[in-house]
Amino acid sequence: MKKSVLYIGNQLASKGATATTIDTLSFLFEGEGYTVYTASSIKNKLFRFVDMLYATLKYSRKVSVVIMDTYSTQNFYYAVAVSWLCRILKTPYIPILHGGNLPSRLDKSPSLSKKLFGNAKTNVSPSKYLIEAFKARGFNNVRYIPNSIEIDAYPFLLRKEIFPRLLWVRSFAEIYNPMLGVELIKKLKEQGVKATLTMVGPEKDGALEACKRETKKYNLPITFTGKLEKHEWIALSTSHDIFINTSNFDNTPVSLIEAAALGLPIVSTNVGGIPFLFEDRETALLVPPNNVDKMTKAVNKFLMNSCLAVSITKKARVRMELYDWAKVKGMWLSILRE
């Protein structure tokens, strides 16, 4: 069996974007003895697309399988084209299903979806939410492999007292609704809570500038750090007490797994795969999307009840240990050996 794979995805961390699965999983595969070819790190979208196709042609005979990160927006068409080429070359391929809005893509593009996902060696879903959505639309070749972390890289800090020091980590994109974080701080300020918020992540579609304008307009205590390396925001997390996730669509964000592993009490919207990742009032506090009142209430619940925060964070850490690469890798290696 060839112990080599081609991984197709947006490998743009070196260009200022947030690291994605291609950056982490390709490294982990190499640690298991695989030769991993990747595409693409080219910033220009058109040239990146061409590079993905070229890499598929170049490496199709050298690898046992092509793995591709698959999303619901423009990147969906990258996967469609690469999968078409794989079928011509008779090279097996595995889409990894990302993005909480993929069910909508299945409905909008049924013919392309059938060709892409129906002809895959298998489809890998990091969330049971997407497995249910795909099965409901007739796709039964979907297997669950959760997003993974190396748990030892995330030291657990038990916060016995909770202060209103909030942390948000994500790319600034409208789909993640970062403006809700700004509205949350504004609401807490109106209530007399001396809360602060640190927002970590790069600009993606103008959402960062919009948040900065609103912050300046109302003179809010919000700090924007830009993109930070993982070790940098892990160090930053020790001076924060609550992690917020504001997205309108989501799957199983690694940032939430990381935050829970670090011991940060989490307040998150209950969209997409997040209710499959956390249980409300057990391992996180979950609220409806785009609802500043409910999110404010949840943050205040942690501030007023440190015992609740301690209980939730301890349970969440235990849950996140299930996502350690040492426990997840067997699922991947089984598929790659088939």
Residue by residue, what is the 3-state secondary structure of 29-73? HHHCCCEEEEECCCCCHHHHHHHHHHHHHHHCCCCCEEEEEECCC
Cα–Cα distance measured from residue 235 to residue 17, given in angstroms and rounded to the nearest whole number: 20
Cα–Cα distance measured from residue 300 to residue 210, given in angstroms and rounded to the nearest whole number: 26
CA-CA distances (angstroms) from residue 126 to 69, 98, 103, 335, 338?
Answer: 11, 8, 14, 14, 19
Note the pLDDT of residue 12.
86
Whole-prediction pTM = 0.92
* CATH classification for the domain delimited by 4-145, as one of 3.40.50.2000, 3.30.70.60, 3.90.180.10, 3.40.50.1980: 3.40.50.2000
What's domain 151-322's architecture? 3-Layer(aba) Sandwich (3.40)
Q: What count of residues does the chain have?
A: 338
Note the pLDDT of residue 18.
79
Note the pLDDT of residue 118.
97
All CATH 3.40.50.2000 domain ranges of the chain, comma separated, are 4-145, 151-322
**96, 68 contact by CB (below 8 A):** yes
Partners of 36 in beta bridges: 5
- Please name the residues in contact with 1: beta carbons below 8 A apart, sequence gap of 6 or more: 64, 337
CB contact burial 279-292 (16+ within 10 A = b; e otherwise): eeeebbbbbebbeb
Mean pLDDT by 10 residues, the chain (338 residues): 89 82 93 96 94 97 96 92 98 94 94 97 95 95 94 96 97 96 98 98 94 98 95 97 96 94 98 95 98 98 97 98 95 93
**194, 164 contact by CB (below 8 A):** yes
**Triad 233, 305, 288: Cα angle to 5°:** 70
Note the pLDDT of residue 1.
56
**328, 311 contact by CB (below 8 A):** no
